[in-house]
Amino acid sequence: MSPHNDGAPVSGDEADILAAEFVLGLLDAPDEARAAERVRQDKDFAARVEQWRARFSELDITAPEGAAHAALLARIEHTLDSETAAAAPVKDTARVSDDRAMGARANGAPPGGAPRGWTVLAARLWDSLGFWRLSACAGAAASLLLALTLALVPPRLGPQPQLVAVLLGPQGEPAAVVNAYADGTADLVPLRSISVPDGRVLEVWTLQDAARGPVSIGLTSEARRIPLDLKSLPRTGPNQLFEITLEPRGGSPIGRPTGPILMKGTTSVAL
């Protein structure tokens, strides 16, 4: 992390970045001490810290504790160093594009992407060894990066989901996302390819009522974005289970999952 000036005036974006880094534990000891003192003295900064703590609260609750093997940390550090060296010319080009975009905004042009503060924070997190070391120790680097992306990327045009379920595969890797919208609709968005044998399909299920059991809400022969059929169900709520199983062509013959569960997850309020 780059050092932060002690007591120097900073913009709102820089204050947000500092607050986020403080909450994630990415500051070095001197900067962390200064940030902690600023929390006690600066009400605005303290409020920003609380906002970031709320944004990242799900990570604190769900990330299991554990120490990563030293070889894993060394491999991550080596990979980051290699990728940083290889991407250096690309970064220079990106900086020129960013400077042009900043100039356009200064001249009154409407912003076409993420606010600068969000973009800078995401870039710092990506290049931070401390961030990846934190993720590795939690045993959920991919899950953490996905959650951070959902938290940091500003809203885009079009309907925004009210609830999101990240479906995890057998190794705990994010494999798909279910988005539930305010109008009662929902869709499934795969995050990786899924091998579907001939004569089999992927069937999407949800569980709202244990007495009723799982209800089929979608079929697909390949990993692709599909709408989910929730018309016969009550409105989707928090902690609602979604899962995908491998079933015979045409879907489960008994109206209940019969094949292996490929991935599953429960809904949380979208950030």
Is pLDDT at 221 greater than 80 in this prediction? Answer: yes
| Domains of the chain, earliest start first | 12-55 (no CATH), 70-152 (no CATH), 163-269 (2.60.40)
Sign of CA dihedral 193, 220, 156, 162: negative
What percent of the chain clears pLDDT 70, i.e. is strictly above it? 57
The encoded tokens of residue 25 equal 């534990």
Mean pLDDT of the chain: 75
Asked which of 92-101, 144-153, 235-244 is least confident by mean pLDDT, the reply is 92-101
- Residue 90, classed as helix, strand or coil, is helix
C-alpha distance from residue 72 to each of 26, 94, 139, 171 (Å)? 19, 30, 11, 17
State CA 179 to chain mean position distance.
Answer: 13
pTM above 0.75, yes or no: no
Place of tokens 């009723």: 212
Q: Give the pLDDT confidence of 143-201 residue by residue, as tens digits.
A: 555 555 555 555 455 678 999 999 999 888 899 999 999 888 999 999 888 889 999 99
Sole residue written with tokens 């949800």: 206
Among the listed ranges 62-71, 99-108, 184-193, 194-203, which one has the minimum average pLDDT value?
99-108
Q: Give dist(CA 192, CA 174) in Å, integer.
A: 8
